[in-house]
């Protein structure tokens, strides 16, 4: 009985540790000092926890065509910001303001998305979770 309880406790702790590691802070993966504006065509949107992802085919600020992977906030945070699962469809034209990944030149964290009809919605970025030592100089979010 004790060994079974120890096994269950160990498994639960492992699951919690993996979940905590998987949900990274903004500053671990993205560089708020490297903003980027991308214009392109939506190729896919995934709406899942802990982050939604927007995939676009478009040019960066240097005119280079790439298939971009753009991390957004959680579906709950996006819903609060005015999004629904049907806000964007494959083929929609968008302009995205984002912050570049520190390690991948085709990944970024979304600040905001401007749709072809002129609406602009927040990407519900986790940049607000940065340590307070950086609070005075970090950019504001929508």
The confidence band for 24, taking pLDDT boundaries of 50, 70 and 90, is low
pLDDT higher than threshold 60 for residue 141: no
CB atoms within 10 A of CB 107: 18
Query: 75 is written with which tokens?
Result: 């579906």
**For the chain, what percent of residues have pLDDT higher than 70?**
70
- At residue 1, the pLDDT reads 63
Rounded to the nearest integer, the mean pLDDT of the chain is: 80
Model pLDDT for residues 36-88, shown as the tens digit of each residue: 999 999 999 999 999 999 999 998 778 889 999 999 999 999 999 999 999 99
**Across residues 117-126, what is the average pLDDT?**
91
Query: 96 is written with which tokens?
Result: 């995205």
- Nearest CA among 72, 142, 80 for reference residue 107: 72
Residues 6+ apart with CB under 8 A from 66: 57, 58, 59, 60, 105, 106
CB 72 within 8 A of CB 52: yes
Which residue's structure tokens are 């927040």? 122
Strand runs (DSSP E) across 1-142, as ranges? 30-46, 53-59, 65-71, 93-101, 107-115, 120-122
- Nearest CA among 123, 124, 115, 69 for reference residue 89: 115
Query: Residue 55 burial (CB < 10 Å; 0-12/13-18/19+)?
Result: middle
Paired strand residues for 65: 59
- At residue 126, the pLDDT reads 74
- At residue 18, the pLDDT reads 39
- At residue 20, the pLDDT reads 42
- Domains defined along the chain, listed by start: 26-134 (2.40.50.140)
CB atoms within 10 A of CB 54: 24
């Amino acid at each position: 009985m004790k060994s079974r309880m120890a096994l269950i406790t160990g498994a639960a702790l492992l699951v919690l540790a993996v979940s905590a590691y998987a949900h990274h802070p903004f500053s671990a993966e993205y560089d708020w000092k490297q903003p980027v504006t991308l214009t392109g065509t939506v190729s896919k949107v995934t709406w899942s926890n802990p982050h939604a992802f927007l995939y676009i085919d478009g040019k960066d600020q240097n005119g280079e065509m790439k298939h971009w992977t753009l991390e957004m906030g959680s579906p709950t945070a996006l819903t609060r910001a005015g999004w629904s699962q049907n806000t964007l469809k494959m083929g929609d034209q968008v302009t995205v303001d984002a912050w570049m990944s520190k390690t991948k030149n085709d990944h970024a964290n979304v600040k905001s998305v401007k749709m072809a009809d002129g609406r602009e919605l927040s990407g519900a970025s986790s940049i607000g979770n940065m340590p307070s030592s950086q609070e005075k100089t970090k950019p504001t979010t929508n």
